[in-house]
Structure 1
Amino acid sequence: MADDRRIVCTIQHPAHVHFFRNAITELRDRGYDVHVFAREKDVACELLERYGIAHQRLAGPVNTPLDLLAVQARYEYEILRRVRRLQPAAVLGIGEPAIAHVSAIGDTQGILFTDTEHAALQNAVSLPFADRVYTPSAFWDDYGAHHRRYPGYHELAYLHPNWFAPDPALPTGLEPADGPLVVLRLVSWNAAHDIGRTGVASLERVIAGLERFGATVRITAEGALPPTLAARRADVAPDRMHDLLARADLFLGESATMAIESCLLGTPALYVSDLRAGVLEELEGRYRLLRWLSNDAHPGEIVAHARELLRTGESTWAKRRRRVLAEKIDTTAFVVDVVEDVAGADVEENDSVTPEVVHE
């Protein structure tokens, strides 16, 4: 029989750490027995350690596309064993197939959150089989009666002002010269939904164009940089990345998550990729904090858009950010309410974060 005070939370990516970390702390403070299981991806386990979140590492990183199936199989097996033993009230994850599969065992509820429409294969083998699916209201797809939408973004679980205030002081060595600070993000493209995709071309030409404009370019990357770019790498601890994004004058890059984070911190984002999503479209069309370019955009086109965004006054971005915060909810509060609803706890009704209703 499931234990109403026991919860399992799964982590497969650094973004998952950020999404769940405040909810984990809040739930533990409320007396829940929260077990955190992780698969190593980039700095996911390092982040869990930095935030002091007790966890177990169940599988290693994926180094090649062929590794993905083996690592996922091992991870699912280890999750299955632990859920069978723990009998939690709910198992939480982000688009994670293992959650939907293990929730068929006993009384545990499989609760999935996602905001990534283009993760088509992962969504197909997980979302239809979960007990509940929660997505931002901007999410394009519909998964039926067990799919609930909420007026928020994943990134507001940790960047909402209730949880985050940026440190205005940059880490040593990252201070820009007299001109604007541009954070350039390059991704590794080894996730399941990234296979066969590429990123920004002609990086050297893009960077040269920005620097001719007087910008200081700092690069964050999941892999090694070419020798010609290595001196521009931003040496910043993973838990200080959001301080850097908040301090930047422009985000430019291939990471959808970091583009969204920048927008929510009041930093305009120039997102260069062929991957689209409902949240990105809403930040571009409704809130005008983001601009999208295809990854085959010419370097001169990228630089021209970057210059235009950099010329826009800081007060404009701050005003647009305030509108987002006025219209969206604290996602951590929502996650905690979802867990308490599933666990059968008495939750004080709050119209802004009810797990059953979307407020447009």
Structure 2
Amino acid sequence: MTSDGLSVVVTIQHPSNVHFFRNAITEFRSRGDDVHVFAREKDIACELLDEYGIEYQLLAGGSSNLYELAKVQTKYEYEILKRVRSLQPDVLLAVSEPAITHASTCFDCQSVLFTDTEHATIQNYLAYPFADVICTPESYWDDLGNKQVSYPGFHQLAYLHPDRFSPNPRVLDHVDADEDDKLAVLRLVSWDAAHDIGQQGIGGVETLVEGLERSGVRVLITSETELPASLEDRRVDLPVHQILDLLYYADLFIGESGSMAIESAVLGTPTIYVSSLSAGVLEKLESWYGLLFSHAQSPPPQQLLEEATTILETDSSVWESRRQRLLEENVDMTEFILEIVDRTVAVPKSRPGALQKTIDRVRQR
């Protein structure tokens, strides 16, 4: 720890990591901590970092297959180790990223890993044994042993908690809509992440879109892949940071992206999630809060259309009351990040027993 505060390393491997850490980075810096942000190129992660004015160093490029991913990860690990050796930070932070846990094992610093994705098995296998603290939602399915700290919450509440997020209605101007329009956002993913191999999502997209539009719903599509020619004009062309505003004002979200499904549900927008991938947080949003409806396999387009119609005909006050309950029962994740970092770095790495007592106290908070 420096005389002016903590030395903190934050790593970014995915656009969702930018959202997760951006308010914490601001809080750390405002109280005098020295924050170093290192990124790996992935989708729009660097665009988001630029949009939010977060200074960072890009350590590795992107990848399009498993072979390239292995090469990129090797380079990234080397670059992280080199910088940690030079900086000697107090704490390393990441979401489901092995590199920081390996670096903390090699040098005298603590690693705090945040994860909510049970099916990221390769990353978890490489990271968990070396992490000092692993923070998971209470809904996380796996027992990770003494290192695990569970909290009532969702990663998305680090940036979508009402204290952190104010929706901007100007997003409706960008899509030529007003608040009276019935809007459905459809999200399609590329299925090229390491944990996506062999998985699948929505079938019969054209039939689904045509059915929704016949009932007076406007469909806006955000897609990582090429769309059929008949649907290309529904593709949303928004500044990267405005998609969250669009999710807030939408009446329905249908998608294959787990992260975006959780964002939508946390914002109070009813969500249909179609994917063979699941997680404890998704299950809780469905079974406990009733804001998400999931399908492990794509149902026939007509069945999906009927489900969407039922949701759209439900009074909006139902979804708002369910969201309010969610907010009352879960933490502001940015506050939790700050708390767990302060508690962790207060204990020397050479005293694992004391760190365990600190973890136990946080569990009882």
Identity over the aligned pairs, expressed in percent? 51
- Size of the alignment, in residue pairs? 351
Q: Does structure 1 conserve the Cα–Cα contact (< 8 Å) formed by 2:221 and 2:235?
A: yes
1:33-52 to 2 correspondences below 5 Å: 33-52=34-53
Report deviation, 1:35: 0.2
Q: 2:358 aligned with 1:356, yes or no?
A: no
1:209-358 to 2 correspondences below 5 Å: 209-344=211-346, 356-357=362-363
Greater CA drift, 126-135 or 194-203: 194-203
Q: Report the residue type matching 1:90 in the other structure.
A: V
Report deviation, 1:107: 1.2
Q: Does structure 1 conserve the Cα–Cα contact (< 8 Å) formed by 2:174 and 2:238?
A: no
Q: Report the residue type matching 2:62 in the other structure.
A: P
Match for residue 23 of structure 2?
22
Q: Distance in 1 between matches of 2:105 and 2:244?
A: 38
Q: Does structure 2 conserve the Cα–Cα contact (< 8 Å) formed by 1:24 and 1:34?
A: yes
Match for residue 197 of structure 2?
195
Greater CA drift, 240-249 or 125-134: 125-134
Q: Distance in 1 between matches of 2:31 and 2:122?
A: 36
Q: Could you list the per-position Cα deviations for residues 8-38 of structure 1 after superposition, in whole angstroms to 9, with x for gaps in the alignment?
A: 0000000000000000010011111100000
Report deviation, 1:225: 2.2
In angstroms, what is the RMSD of aligned CA positions? 1.8
**CA spacing shift, 1:141–1:358, aligned 2, 3 Å:** farther
Q: Report the residue type matching 2:309 in the other structure.
A: R
Q: Distance in 2 between matches of 1:201 and 1:15?
A: 25
What runs of 5+ residues in structure 1 fail to find an aligned partner?
A: 346-353
What runs of 5+ residues in structure 2 fail to find an aligned partner?
A: 348-359
Report deviation, 1:357: 2.0
Q: Distance in 1 between matches of 2:114 and 2:37?
A: 16
TM-score between the two structures when normalised by the length of structure 1: 0.94
Q: Does structure 2 conserve the Cα–Cα contact (< 8 Å) formed by 1:112 and 1:134?
A: yes
Report deviation, 1:182: 0.2
| Structure 2 SS opposite 1:88 | coil
TM-score between the two structures when normalised by the length of structure 2: 0.92
Q: Does structure 1 conserve the Cα–Cα contact (< 8 Å) formed by 2:12 and 2:45?
A: yes
**CA spacing shift, 1:55–1:85, aligned 2, 3 Å:** same
Match for residue 72 of structure 2?
71
Match for residue 351 of structure 2?
none
Q: Distance in 2 between matches of 1:2 and 1:97?
A: 26
Report deviation, 1:93: 0.4
Report deviation, 1:358: 5.5
Q: Could you list the per-position Cα deviations for residues 242-301 of structure 1 after superposition, in whole angstroms to 9, with x for gaps in the alignment?
A: 100000000000011111111111100000111111111111011000000123311111
Match for residue 350 of structure 2?
none
Q: 2:166 aligned with 1:165, yes or no?
A: yes
Going by fraction, where is helix more abundant, 1 or 2?
Answer: 2
